[in-house]
Amino acid sequence: MIEHFLVGLALLLGLALGFLFARRRRGGETEAVHQILLPFTGTEISRRAIDAALRLARAEHATLMPAYLARVPKSLPLDCAVPKEADRAMAMLEAIEQRAAAQDVPVDARIERGRSYRHALARLLDHEAFDRVVVSATATGSTGFSGDDLVWLLEKAPAEVLILRPGPADHRVLSVNGRPPAVPA
């Protein structure tokens, strides 16, 4: 009698552990696959672009990779420390992370240096893998990406590129231009 009980208990324990193990593995695989890149420059980024990237990330259980692109003057080595740029980047990334956390989207941020924004983006494309890129085309060009940059991105990015059209809500930006980061709406 006691033997039957012990065999049954061992069986149940095995099943429970197997279920937990499989669930953890499935979870791990999902996390490792998807990355959505959100490159930006300067001290403001369109909220539409952030929201679009977050919606996609949430729907696809993906990780959002906001990437601040920093320009390094030619007089300095490309890989020197850039504290002023980093200061701007930190505030922006903090604000984006707040917004992402509110929507349960994991974030894996980057700061990439280059001689130009396009060069920084090219360096990022070289050593990071992602499935989508979200950029916004604005009428004012204030994001720092020119039309040429966007065409270049379409040609070079080994991922699906989502370019947002200029829209009426583009004046709503997440901005940290010398002030504390904007609180997410």
User: Site residues (CB under 8 A) for other proteins?
Assistant: 32, 63, 70, 77-83, 85-87, 89-90, 93-94, 97-98, 101-102, 104, 106-113, 127-128
Smallest gap from Cβ 97 to other proteins, in A, equals 6
Element (H, E) at 137: none
Tokens of 127: 């050593």
CA distances to 3, 33, 36 from 126, in Å: 61, 17, 15
User: For tokens 């030619």, what's the residue?
Assistant: 74
Smallest gap from Cβ 4 to other proteins, in A, equals 29
Nearest residue (CB) to other proteins, 48 versus 99: 99
Smallest gap from Cβ 100 to other proteins, in A, equals 9
Question: If we measure between CA atoms, which residue out of 121, 152, 140 comes closest to residue 37?
Answer: 121
Nearest residue (CB) to other proteins, 8 versus 31: 31
Sign of CA dihedral 86, 87, 88, 94: positive
Nearest residue (CB) to other proteins, 44 versus 85: 85
